Chains A and B, each alone.
Chain A
Amino acid sequence: MTYKDLSTTPAGSEGPILRCEGLTKAFGGVNAVNGATFDVPRNKITALIGPNGAGKTTVVNILSGAMKSDSGTVHLGSTDVTNMDRAKIARLGLMRTFQLSRELGGLSVLENLLVAPKVQAGESIFNIFFRPRLVKREERQNIERATEILRTYGLYDLRDNWARELSGGQKKLLEISRGVMASPSVFLLDEPMAGVNPALIERIGGYILDMKAQGVTVLMIEHNLNVVERICDNVIVLAEGKTLATGKLSELRQNKEVVTAYLGEVINASTGH
């Protein structure tokens, strides 16, 4: 399966694919993001971890254009995408999923994928009525590709169901597969393993590794450190809206600040102390 066509993405081929510098965002008197600075290396899987309220989702919202930052810059490759409209950022190749799955419930499972390609000939009235063969050909290609992705993600038999009828785990898979259909160069996953059972965690982990093998850069918010350890090349730790540390998880386990701010909390929680 082809996830993306790198030649069509504007992200260039050198240096980090995503770079944030001094991002800040305040809600009233609360500084949700307070100077976060980090790079996301190209064609790697990077985890964004940190305690609850560290600003992880806010950072992902800013990176994807869903929220405007108060200050700081975001670069996607060589393009400055700071506070750019989210549709434009998506068209530059950055896709995202949401903490709580947001399926397009009034569309079928297959249609959720078919709507994903960013530019489609059939979205123009002129083409619908005056270039029907082009529209039909492109639609056929999209159906073939969407079918292949649904088969890979185990959703094929549900393709004609309303997306709103899926279970929580299936919605997670649908959201990820929809993003894959859009051929991203950077894919932001907001807690893809949250609320799903161990078997599905295994599968989602496999899909993320598969994306990396196809050249997609992944930045994922994740609390499951076992998953982070197994599939992530790099980890960014956020605490109180700031970048606390970056590196491999094994290195970060030795970092006292990180242990105090987050890892200790997780270890304690998992051991019940």
Chain B
Amino acid sequence: MSFYVYTLFFFFFVYFILAMGLNIQFGETGILNFAYIGFVAIGSYVTGATSLPKANTGIAAGQHFILGLNLPFPFNLLAGGIVSSLLAVIVAFIALRRLRTDYLAMVLISLSLVLYDVCNNFVPLFNGPDGLYNIPEPMSGVFHLDSNQFVGFFAAVTGIIALIMYLFMNRIMSSPLGRTFRAIRDDPGVASTLGKNIFKYQITSMVIGAFFAGIGGGLIIQFGGSFNPSAWLPGETFVVFAVIIVGGVGNNVGLLVGALLVETLLIHLPAFLPDIPGRPGLIEYFSAMVIGIVLMAMLWFRPQGMLPERVRKFPAPAGELLNRDGHSVVAPTPVEAVATTNSAAQVADAHEGNDAW
């Protein structure tokens, strides 16, 4: 039972990290990154390959892969995040320089498929279709943990990492950089006429998001001890999108809700239920169907998500006198009364200059 609960917690935390990464790209900067799962996979592979000794030696016997650095935790995890970020720079140069919205999404999903095929078929890279296995359990030797204890321990470590990454992401999102990301999301044309180098900020967003993806992927392989291409079919990206859409685009706290509802309750909870006699795999199919229905319902009835993005308020400058409603007592009359054109006749008058000036 405890193994089951810790596993649920682990995936809840991991998908929270993954959702934060995709959220800064999609929810904050407007990059429809359908290749996101590719960055998760690279983080996973690199963390695995840097955790293991050289290929075909010791616990890596029978496996073919690059790196094999035998790095300790958390350096192997950081390696996964960093390599994933470097891949994001390359992908950004290929996809982001000239393309926007739907065309960009198509190129990104194509790149994800290419990456998948390379990893699946080019065995010397990450052991082809068998993937990497026998990944050492981080720190279990240091604390003398058995396999069951490790699950709880690593779920807790993942929770702490998720908290640190949440604070890191919040700092960025509440900074002028986060504001510039959102300006680009809303209207890249306007942002560039304000002097913002769109490509530079999009790369920055891609790199941050890919780092989160890489760390999430690294945690997955360290928790499960193995990772192969069947774990990152391109469709997996849409699970992370579902977490964001259900939780609330642009709201990190909403992502917690999204991770809980989609990942924990709809994917991993049913995965632990016993099969229906004579209908093996039926629960899994139902789970996928329910996710699709929830996603459509959210987009139809509540596109802003369970916890929508909130307006960011700033403290009034020093010396500001505010009334009970938070309005300045010295501010001029709001323009609602005069700023709205009242009738077509008024527009015509204004344009013909009969009244003004």
User: Is B179 within 8 A of A115, CB to CB?
Assistant: yes
Name B27's closest neighbour in chain A (CB-CB).
A106
Stretch at the interface among A41-49, A70-78, A164-172, A254-262: A164-172
- Assess whether B64 is interfacial by the CB under 8 Å rule: no
User: Is A122 within 8 A of B175, CB to CB?
Assistant: yes
B32 vs chain A, min Cβ distance (A): 16
Q: Which residues of A contact B313 (CB under 8 A)?
A: 108, 160
A151 to B328, CA, bound (A): 9
Interface of chain A, helix or strand or loop or mixed?
Answer: helix
User: Is B340 within 8 A of A169, CB to CB?
Assistant: yes
- Assess whether A196 is interfacial by the CB under 8 Å rule: yes
A200 to B340, CA, bound (A): 9
Stretch at the interface among A9-17, A27-35, A88-96: A88-96
Query: Which of B182, B192, B328, B340 makes the CB contact (< 8 A) with A197?
Result: B340
- Assess whether B142 is interfacial by the CB under 8 Å rule: no
User: Is A104 within 8 A of B356, CB to CB?
Assistant: no
User: Is B352 within 8 A of A124, CB to CB?
Assistant: no
Stretch at the interface among A51-59, A220-228, A237-245: A220-228
Residues of A in contact, count (CB < 8 Å): 79
User: Is A135 within 8 A of B194, CB to CB?
Assistant: no
- Assess whether B336 is interfacial by the CB under 8 Å rule: yes
A110 to B356, CA, bound (A): 29
Within 8 A of A (CB), among B160-182: 171-172, 175-177, 179-180, 182
- For the complex with contacts A118-B196, A195-B341, 13 further pairs of A-B residues with Cβ separation under 8 Å are A66-B193, A87-B194, A106-B185, A107-B179, A115-B180, A128-B175, A151-B328, A154-B335, A155-B334, A178-B194, A194-B351, A202-B357, A270-B352
Give chain A's interface residues, CB within 8 Å of chain B. Answer: 64-66, 85-88, 90-91, 95-96, 98, 102, 104-108, 110-111, 114-116, 118-125, 128-129, 135, 139-140, 143-144, 147, 151, 153-158, 160-162, 166-170, 172-173, 178, 182, 193-203, 205, 223-227, 229-230, 269-270
User: Is B339 within 8 A of A270, CB to CB?
Assistant: no
Q: Produce 1/0 per residue, B297-311, CB < 8 A to A.
A: 000000000000101
Query: Which of A66, A108, A144 makes the CB contact (< 8 A) with B189?
Result: A66
Q: Which residues of B contact A95 (CB under 8 A)?
A: 193-194
Q: Which residues of A contact B309 (CB under 8 A)?
A: 106
Q: Which residues of A contact B204 (CB under 8 A)?
A: 125
User: Is A197 within 8 A of B341, CB to CB?
Assistant: yes
Query: Which of B171, B192, B311, B316 makes the CB contact (< 8 A) with A162?
Result: B311
- Assess whether B2 is interfacial by the CB under 8 Å rule: no
Within 8 A of A (CB), among B330-357: 330-336, 338-342, 346-347, 349-357
Name B349's closest neighbour in chain A (CB-CB).
A198
A133 to B161, CA, bound (A): 26
User: Is A111 within 8 A of B312, CB to CB?
Assistant: yes
B198 vs chain A, min Cβ distance (A): 7
B310 vs chain A, min Cβ distance (A): 10
User: Is A169 within 8 A of B338, CB to CB?
Assistant: yes
Query: Which of B176, B312, B332, B350 makes the CB contact (< 8 A) with A135?
Result: B176
User: Is B171 within 8 A of A86, CB to CB?
Assistant: no
Known: A200-B335, A227-B357, A270-B353. A110 touches B314 (CB 8 A): yes
Q: Which residues of A contact B353 (CB under 8 A)?
A: 224-227, 270
A87 to B194, CA, bound (A): 7
Q: Which residues of A contact B351 (CB under 8 A)?
A: 193-194, 223-224
- Assess whether B141 is interfacial by the CB under 8 Å rule: no
Query: Which of A66, A144, A155 makes the CB contact (< 8 A) with B335?
Result: A155
User: Is B180 within 8 A of A200, CB to CB?
Assistant: no
Query: Which of A86, A105, A167 makes the CB contact (< 8 A) with B193?
Result: A86
Most chain A CB atoms below 10 A, which of B175, B194, B346? B194
B195 vs chain A, min Cβ distance (A): 4
User: Is B357 within 8 A of A120, CB to CB?
Assistant: no
A116 to B192, CA, bound (A): 10
- Assess whether B186 is interfacial by the CB under 8 Å rule: yes
A230 to B355, CA, bound (A): 13
Query: Which of A88, A106, A155, A226 makes the CB contact (< 8 A) with B357?
Result: A226
User: Is B338 within 8 A of A230, CB to CB?
Assistant: no
Name A129's closest neighbour in chain B (CB-CB).
B171
B85 vs chain A, min Cβ distance (A): 12
Query: Which of B172, B186, B336 makes the CB contact (< 8 A) with A107?
Result: B186
User: Is B311 within 8 A of A196, CB to CB?
Assistant: no
- Assess whether B135 is interfacial by the CB under 8 Å rule: no
A58 vs chain B, min Cβ distance (A): 15
Within 8 A of A (CB), among B204-233: 204, 208
User: Is A198 within 8 A of B328, CB to CB?
Assistant: no
- Assess whether B197 is interfacial by the CB under 8 Å rule: yes
- Assess whether B327 is interfacial by the CB under 8 Å rule: yes
A96 to B195, CA, bound (A): 11
A91 to B204, CA, bound (A): 20
Q: Which residues of A contact B186 (CB under 8 A)?
A: 104-107
User: Is A168 within 8 A of B341, CB to CB?
Assistant: yes
